[in-house]
Structure 1
Amino acid sequence: MSARDDLLGIGTVARRAGVSVAALRHYEERGLVHAVRDAGGRRRFPRHVLRRLAVVAAGQRVGLSLAAIADALAALPADRAPTPGEWAAVGQVWQRLLDERLRELQDLRTSLDGCIGCGCLSLTRCTLLNPDDDAAREGSGSRWLREAGHRPRGERP
């Protein structure tokens, strides 16, 4: 077995990846990384798991959910580090996700002083005027705000 094929203990991987052992176990439970068990039942990780953990960290750094990160990792090989081309494909998917997130944040920023459909009736200036709490018929919570990302830009309910 070469040094590149060495299996690393959970503490070593956690320390090298800059995550806690608990986080590493959580990532394993979520299918983001995979370990093998040695004869004593201890988790052992192949070195390439450090690359996968770097992908997890990159995704978290840009605000992606673990579900979105898991989707990306599902497109990458589980048994080796990704090639530059494989990583570029994931990067393109993430760019689209981030572009959508930026659009949602911009919509939120421009509507913060307006009505979000919560039914509070406390705003003296509401861009959507909800005096009879019409939004209540649609359900609870600030649906209009949450749904803003799913409407064409600038469109109000």
Structure 2
Amino acid sequence: MNQEANLSVGKVAKRCGIKVSTLHFYEEKGLIRSWRNQGNQRRYKPDVMRRISVIKAAQKMGVSLDDVQQALSSLPNNRTPDKQDWQKLSKRWHQLLDNRIKALEVLRDSISSCIGCGCLSLSTCPIYNPEDELSETGEGAIILQNDIAERINDDG
């Protein structure tokens, strides 16, 4: 095997602009693969750099590593994505990103008057929650979560 097809951990990390610990983390999550040489050192094929580029691009878009792992594992033989694969992967994430954008718009539009939790901590809160009725429906920002879900479903 030639030297370029047998990349060390340090070389891959440097070329991809990530830490060695990040490579190990990606491998632990099943996002990339390596093998051990005769000296028991990890080695990578050059296509691992493209996989890491896809991972980093997805993360910049706000796609979780679990979603990235699921998408990459859907490729035949767990291959590295090519241009056509990227088109398919990006379509999968398009709706997810649209939903996040809508959720952020709802948050932006309501943040000055209420955080949407129904906590009654504001004396002038426009959202009224007598006897803490919302506690029976869930935890956290219940009103905001319901509002976001309703708006996404109305548009979807």
In 2, Cα distance between the equivalents of 1:118 and 1:29?
A: 40
1:11 paired residue number:
10
Match of 1:130, as an amino acid? N
The aligned residue for residue 129 of structure 1 is 128
Q: What residue is the counterpart of 2:116 in the other structure?
A: 116
- TM-score when scaled to structure 2? 0.84
Q: What SS does structure 2 have at the residue aligned with 1:44?
A: strand
Q: Note the C-alpha offset of 1:83.
A: 2.2
In structure 1, what is the Cα distance between the partners aligned to 2:147 and 2:10?
44
Q: Which runs of 4+ in 1 moved over 4 A?
A: 77-80
DSSP-derived class of the 2:43 partner = strand
| Larger displacement relative to structure 2 (47-56 or 62-71) | 62-71
Aligned to 1:101: 100
Please tell me the residue identity of whatever aligns with 1:103: K
Amino acid in structure 2 at the alignment position of 1:23: T
Residues 50 and 153 (structure 1 numbering): CA distance in 2 closer, same or farther, change over 3 Å?
Answer: closer
- 1:123 is aligned with what amino acid? L
Counterpart CA distance in 2 for 1:3 and 1:104 is 48
Over the matched positions of the two proteins, sequence identity in percent amounts to 35
Question: Residue by residue, what CA displacement relative to the aligned partner does 1:26-69 show, whole Å, maximum 9, x if unpaired?
Answer: 00000110111112221111100000000111011111111111
RMSD of the TM alignment (CA)? 2.4
8 Å Cα contact 1:118/1:142 also seen in 2: yes
For 1:60-75, list aligned pairs within 5 A.
Answer: 60-75=59-74
Contact 2:72 2:81 in 1 (8 A): no
Tell me, yes or no, if the aligned pair for 1:118 and 1:140 is still in contact at 8 Å.
Answer: no
Cα 1:43–1:118 change in 2 (3 A) is farther
Cα distance change on mapping 1:78 and 1:9 into 2, 3 Å: farther
Relative to the length of structure 1, the TM-score reads 0.84
Q: Distance in 1 between matches of 2:53 and 2:148?
A: 29
Contact 2:117-2:143 at 8 Å conserved across structures: yes
Look up the SS of the partner of 1:128 in the other structure.
coil
Question: Which whole-Å CA distance do the structure 2 matches of 1:44 and 1:80 have between them?
Answer: 17
SS in 2 for 1:133: helix
Structure with higher helix content: 2
Q: Could you tell me how far 1:154 is from its partner in structure 2?
A: 9.8
Q: 1:136 to 1:7 in 2, by over 3 A?
A: same
Query: Distance between the aligned counterparts of 1:110 and 1:118, measured in 2?
Result: 17
Checking the alignment, whether the CA contact within 8 Å between 1:48 and 1:80 is kept in structure 2 is: no
